[in-house]
Structure 1
């Protein structure tokens, strides 16, 4: 690569960039933010529309697949997109993903039956899997470490705000227009983001030694992940034998995947990262963070409604302190990471998460105090989430070369998504068994009625009291498990890369102060 005008000379082993300046880079960043927002909102905007969708399309017995199909498709493709971005360039893979997401969104809104909607949600999820890993990878290419800390912190805030706004927007669109608009609404924003990226980002992918795509590894990973997710997000009343079969398939496929990756010339996931304790700790910590977030989002509202008798609105508000404080903490964390390094920042954040989780336990132990205890606990957890999650993603990105950054970023995002599904699935099993044991058969209340606050009005006073006591004690145990997971997360944080965080020597020219939106990786080492 030729030397940059007014900049350092390029080399064969490091990416470089040139462009029109920071204004172009900011426009591209806005487009990336827009792409991240629509993907985040799509996870929550559908929920309020589901009763109307069921009334129109029928198929209530399979409605849960509308959610799980999307989650499954987006999760299994996340690491694959990260690898493809390293091989074929960030821009073209992200544009493909956004395009597929838009097509899936339009087709979902045009669906005429529940099976058709589920199939189109799979298409939508297959596109959504590209967004988070590649957006964060591009940010890693365009910004210095200090800049990236600020920008990725902003993107974490966008993700949180979009997730909160999703249910409100979905309800409004369903009431004022049609349930179909919960799918249509993301399409114009996705198209605008694609147009800006197509025009504003110039990318040249260097020639590299041709190595076959690891199709076998991709197949084993897809099969193992799909079997695992189907096992933990399955429906009620499913025979336990099927659960055992699915878990057995998951273990078998993932063992074959690891064997394949050890001998593959160009593996889908960089398995050797797990051999480095600091990087393995970041990936494991991301797994735990994903589980903590989804667990809190699932079980705190259940406590507010099912134990304290609060409304759905009150349940929704109960988790807002977490996302609000998270949005603030990411900006603080952006200044801490360059000064303190990845490990110290992650440890401080994990201490806050662990401390905040005790507020959940305290609220469950003394239900009368649950409102202030939850408010304080969730706020402290949010303050810890910013530094911890930011340290994990930046630490992994900074530890690998350009040609592995996409796969490394995809590994972290994939770990977080899997953690959310697996941990919530396990906690759900604990909740079901513990609640069944506490209620017994004498109460005359089945587990389904106990777990659905909307049916509590049909219970007698004695049954309702028994349900609330049993559910309160069981959720206390769940919060204790969440607190124990936070301690494990603290142990992971203590193992991430230490020292002062600095840019890699092979950082792109934009990371050396040229600030642009052109990605021009030089010839990559093979």
Structure 2
């Protein structure tokens, strides 16, 4: 291994800016669309399909992330980035012309297919043009994009729908994406594939998509499926078994053996599964606590979550410097400790806790996630050969998506179990206290009973989040006592 970057260019800063713009475009998409959805539904109708506007985007993204990572290694980063970004921009353009919710969902699926390439390939390109020592700091800059997007997205979405048509929320992606592509076309050399003889494992791709689709449907639609859940889960296991056999027999597996044979690669993937799962404890359920238990406003709930988005990029930047003077292991374990501490602080929330306490807790959790996720990413990229760096980067991002789906399912089940135990006769207790109109109609006695039962149930969710966060301490210890300097391929 050498200290040199694989792609030599005298304009690395323009390549970095292009990748940051592309990641910002993908990151802001979820929050900006969420803000605009009430306006969109008022024109298109189809409130019962609201969930699918977001689910289909995440589903098509998760299904194709590993595929893009493999293609980037085979065809070259620039070509695959252009393919994915073009799909994303076409989907964005057509979303603005949607005349009903079904059409909007279709074009959101196309958007997701493109977004699946943007994030992992951008991170891979940055790893290619910077040396291993520099990656530790530069990946922190990429992480900061997500924090900015989390804050700018809701504000810009509200402003755009107030002054323009809701279609502009989607069309704003076009100049950003096109400028990013122009920068990479001008400043990123198009290198030939390091393994031109290999062909894409089409059969593996098909079974991978089937497996992931069934798994995500089983996890995210568990309540809707009812007894059908067992059948979908069995089909997912069967498809996964066929995928495993195909991967073992094919000469060109989608996931190269290094992912399963390297301790660092395994730690990176396990760590991101855990981070994704733990993240749901705050992203999905802390707003419920603030609005339902403390009676806070949606703005207060959003502000608390923004503290997590602020802590993440700050810690990502700090972790880059910490890795250079300590080691991968020390930095990852430090981040894991902060994540565990923040998850423990969730259990200290009570009915009369102020909103600032929830925000401070979210900030600590965000710092832990930012530090651990950046360390896992840099360690994986620094120990991956150029020929497999694309799929290795995509695999840990895919792992985080799977972790988020698993975390949502597990914590949702814990919440429902707690509600059944503590409020067995209540009809939709969370909805009753989340809606200001229905909350005002409740007597003080009933409101206190519902609030106490839901608070106890949410503490069960936070306890599970803490147990999941504790696993990051073990995974962080799997990383070597080694600094980024002097590594790379």
Cα deviation for residue 203 of structure 1 reads 1.3
Task: Give the 5 Å matches for 1:40-439.
Answer: 40-206=27-193, 208=195, 210-234=197-221, 238-363=224-349, 366-439=350-423
Cα deviation for residue 141 of structure 1 reads 0.4
Paired residue secondary structure (2:227): helix
Moved more, 334-343 or 274-283: 274-283
C-alpha contact 1:258 1:271 (8 A) present in aligned 2: no
Q: TM-score, normalised by structure 1?
A: 0.88
Cα deviation for residue 28 of structure 1 reads 1.6
CA-to-aligned-CA distance 1:88-111 (integer Å, 9 cap, x gap): 000010011111100000111110
Paired residue secondary structure (2:31): coil
Moved more, 33-42 or 390-399: 390-399
Bigger RCO (CA 8 Å, 6+ sep)? 1
> Are 2:448 and 1:465 aligned?
yes
* Aligned counterparts of 1:450 and 1:67: Cα–Cα separation in 2: 24
Cα deviation for residue 448 of structure 1 reads 6.1
Residues 72/271 of structure 1: CA separation in 2 closer, same or farther (3 Å cut): farther
In structure 2, the gaps of 5 or more residues are: none
Q: TM-score, normalised by structure 2?
A: 0.95
> Are 2:435 and 1:449 aligned?
no
* Aligned counterparts of 1:139 and 1:171: Cα–Cα separation in 2: 32
Cα deviation for residue 300 of structure 1 reads 0.8
* Aligned counterparts of 2:169 and 2:143: Cα–Cα separation in 1: 23
CA RMSD of aligned residues (A): 2.1
- Aligned partner (choices 458, 469, 473) of residue 486 of structure 1: 469
Residues 317/71 of structure 1: CA separation in 2 closer, same or farther (3 Å cut): same
* Aligned counterparts of 1:390 and 1:449: Cα–Cα separation in 2: 37
Paired residue secondary structure (2:353): helix
Cα deviation for residue 306 of structure 1 reads 0.5
In structure 1, the gaps of 5 or more residues are: 1-7, 507-526
Cα deviation for residue 193 of structure 1 reads 0.7
C-alpha contact 2:36 2:157 (8 A) present in aligned 1: yes
| Matching residue of 1:498 | 481
* Aligned counterparts of 2:231 and 2:390: Cα–Cα separation in 1: 33
C-alpha contact 1:74 1:126 (8 A) present in aligned 2: yes
> What count of residue pairs does the alignment treat as equivalent?
488
Cα deviation for residue 387 of structure 1 reads 2.1
C-alpha contact 2:255 2:391 (8 A) present in aligned 1: yes
* Aligned counterparts of 1:452 and 1:425: Cα–Cα separation in 2: 21
* Aligned counterparts of 2:190 and 2:229: Cα–Cα separation in 1: 46
Paired residue secondary structure (1:497): coil
| Matching residue of 1:522 | none
* Aligned counterparts of 2:157 and 2:470: Cα–Cα separation in 1: 36
Cα deviation for residue 287 of structure 1 reads 0.8
Paired residue secondary structure (2:339): helix
* Aligned counterparts of 2:222 and 2:445: Cα–Cα separation in 1: 29
C-alpha contact 2:68 2:116 (8 A) present in aligned 1: yes
C-alpha contact 2:73 2:194 (8 A) present in aligned 1: no
Residues 209/375 of structure 1: CA separation in 2 closer, same or farther (3 Å cut): closer
Larger helix proportion, structure 1 or 2? 2
